[in-house]
Structure 1
Amino acid sequence: MKNTTFPFRKIPGWAIMLLLFGGLYATGLHTEVIGQMQRLLLATGLKKAEVPTTGKNAAALASASSTYKAGTGFQMTTLNGSPIAFESLHGKVIFLNIWATWCPPCVAEMPNIQRLYEKVGSDKIAFVMLSVDRGGIPKVKKYIQKKGYTFPVYLASRPIPEEFYSPSIPTTFIISPEGKIVTKHEGLQDYDTPDMRNFLLNL
């Protein structure tokens, strides 16, 4: 009697990879898996967020002659459904991160943002983790609770202002107490660094 077992060794490598990634996408685990891989990249220290020098920062703020403050008129909603005006945060340093649950680099950098939030806990710094998920509050709330994050999370209840536009996420803005955008970082970054902590606390 002939052996009728399937010759798995003859399956091409590309077919195995296709099946693997297809399975990850089908189960929705691809975001977490890719996010974990990108988290390893952050651990190398190669993606630290750049911080402006004091001189450059002061010059940028001094040259901003406009009295307009970033985010004026923008309305958000908390995960409890309460409305909040972005401009109510003016007067504080604002760490604004635009993200989504389906975005692997967003998932990858969130743990270091949580650590930053815990270390710079201050009434002078406001964290705004702004989700652009279309699933609404329930989806985002479930994700945040599952991960155990404690930083403030919001959803936009009006279109995001033009000054916060970015062609990619995650994107992070740091806004001065005067309402001026001081830095903008697009893509995966490590924010839990001594330079970033000192920058936020001294801005």
Structure 2
Amino acid sequence: MQIGLFSPAEQTKNATIPADLSKIVFEDTKGNQVSLADLKGKIIFLNFWATWCPPCIAEMPSINKLAQLYKDDKDIVFLMVDADSDFGKSVDFMNKRQYNLPVYKAVSSVPEVIFGGSLPTTIVLDKQGRLSFKEVGAANYNSKKFTNFIEKLKALKD
């Protein structure tokens, strides 16, 4: 399944997330916790997905390619948040498809401005923690337009 409808663009206004970022916490498969506040100063690619979600599955190859493009860039962090919080299924999913994406689960409440419950949902926060991009539904993140968008965020002063 391929996805073609997608037009990334910086939002007309960078909205600062109203909630305290230090309270938004995710946990990886090893039990390490990270808050969005811990990641301030980095560009955060945050994707909410599930193994049973066809649009999530459809966009995953493009996310994997994007992550591989930036795998050595310490200023960009990928958080793939399993909406079901089932590490067994999500890790098996990633391994079976040979995706090298870090799986997390939310261990705190997540403000609706970040995730309103629709899958997949992808947001990008800039280095200041401002919401710079939000897409609800499947998209192709392995495109020149999206990598140009990421590069613009990288070029912004801290």
Q: Do both share a fold (TM > 0.5)? A: yes
Q: Cα RMSD over matched residues? A: 2.1
Q: 3-state DSSP class of the match of 1:98?
A: strand
Aligned residue type for 1:128: L
- The offset of 1:145, in angstroms, is 1.5
Per-residue CA deviations over 1:74-115 (Å, capped at 9, x if unaligned) read: 111102222222221111111111101111100110000000
Overall identity of the aligned pairs, in %: 32
Would you say the 8 A contact 1:166–1:186 is kept in 2?
A: no
The whole-number CA distance in structure 2 between the counterparts of 1:68 and 1:160 is: 11
- Partner in structure 2 of residue 105 of structure 1: 55
Aligned residue type for 1:105: P
Moved over 4 A (4+): 66-70
Per-residue CA deviations over 1:129-148 (Å, capped at 9, x if unaligned) read: 111115x2222222222121
Aligned residue type for 1:131: D
The whole-number CA distance in structure 1 between the counterparts of 2:98 and 2:148 is: 25
- Partner in structure 1 of residue 9 of structure 2: 51
- The gaps in structure 2 that reach 5 residues or longer are 154-158
Per-residue CA deviations over 1:156-201 (Å, capped at 9, x if unaligned) read: 1122233213241101111111111011101011111111112112
The whole-number CA distance in structure 1 between the counterparts of 2:43 and 2:150 is: 7
The whole-number CA distance in structure 2 between the counterparts of 1:183 and 1:69 is: 17
Q: 3-state DSSP class of the match of 1:112?
A: helix
Aligned residue type for 1:119: L
Per-residue CA deviations over 1:46-66 (Å, capped at 9, x if unaligned) read: x1242228xx4xxx24xx5x6
Aligned residue type for 1:179: G
Aligned residue type for 2:95: Q
Would you say the 8 A contact 1:93–1:176 is kept in 2?
A: yes
**TM superposition score normalised by structure 2:** 0.85
The whole-number CA distance in structure 2 between the counterparts of 1:141 and 1:108 is: 17
- The offset of 1:70, in angstroms, is 6.7
Please point out which of 153, 156, 162 is paired with 2:103. Answer: 153
Q: Could you say which structure has the higher strand fraction?
A: 2
Query: Highest relative contact order (Cα 8 Å, sep 6+), 1 or 2?
Result: 2
CA separation of 1:170/1:70 partners in 2, compared to 1, >3 Å: closer, same or farther? Answer: farther
- Partner in structure 2 of residue 93 of structure 1: 43
Would you say the 8 A contact 1:98–1:172 is kept in 2?
A: yes
Would you say the 8 A contact 2:8–2:149 is kept in 1?
A: no
**TM superposition score normalised by structure 1:** 0.68
Q: 3-state DSSP class of the match of 2:23?
A: coil
- Partner in structure 1 of residue 27 of structure 2: 77
Please point out which of 77, 98, 109 is paired with 1:126. Answer: 77
Q: Does 1:201 align with 2:151?
A: yes
